[in-house]
């Protein structure tokens, strides 16, 4: 199955100096499995009905994986999903909010406003 898309058509011409392992990793990163159907067609090149069916299928598969991971976390520790959410969403979000407020309230900005 050949994976080709207009945006990545010339990528294979540019990777001639890579060994096979490097080529495989590069292809995995730039041509991910969840962007192509079983025939090797890129999702954005499909008609609207096939595109909706394909993206829905991929979304459902990812949701199953995520819910399975949450279930395994809860089995080990019922509060672990809350801890994960705090560490990976709330605290970084608060940090970004603080950084944005510091940058927007910098004295050089206030001088320009007055």
| 109 is a domain residue | yes
Domain of residue 93, residue span: 77-114
| 52 is a domain residue | no
pLDDT of residue 111: 55
| 106 is a domain residue | yes
| 113 is a domain residue | yes
Distances (CA, A) of 9 to 15, 42, 59, 85: 12, 12, 26, 39
pLDDT of residue 7: 59
| 35 is a domain residue | no
pLDDT tens over the chain, length 114 residues? 555 565 555 665 666 677 888 878 887 887 787 888 888 888 888 999 999 999 999 999 999 999 999 999 999 999 999 999 999 999 999 999 998 888 777 666 555 544
| 53 is a domain residue | no
The four Cα atoms 94, 100, 101, 104 give a dihedral, to 10 degrees, of 180
pLDDT of residue 42: 86
Provide the H-helix boundaries in 16-113. 20-30, 48-76, 80-85, 91-104, 107-113
| 98 is a domain residue | yes
Distances (CA, A) of 30 to 12, 77, 85, 107: 11, 36, 29, 43
What total of structural domains would you count in the chain? 1
| Per-residue tokens: 71 | 């279930």
Q: Single out the residue of 63, 62, 72, 10 nearest to residue 33, CA to CA.
A: 62
| 38 is a domain residue | no
Q: How far apart are CA 48 and CA 43, in angstroms?
A: 10
């Amino acid at each position: 199955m050949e994976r080709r898309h207009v945006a990545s058509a010339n990528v294979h011409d540019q990777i001639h100096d890579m060994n096979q392992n490097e080529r495989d990793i590069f292809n995995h990163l730039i041509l991910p499995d969840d962007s192509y159907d079983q025939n090797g067609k890129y999702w954005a090149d499909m008609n609207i009905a096939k595109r909706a069916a394909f993206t829905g299928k991929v979304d459902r598969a990812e949701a199953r994986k995520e819910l399975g991971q949450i279930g395994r976390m809860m089995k080990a520790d019922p509060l672990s999903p809350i801890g994960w959410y705090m560490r990976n969403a709330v605290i970084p979000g608060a940090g970004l909010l603080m950084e944005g407020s510091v940058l927007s309230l910098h004295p050089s900005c206030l001088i320009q406003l007055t």
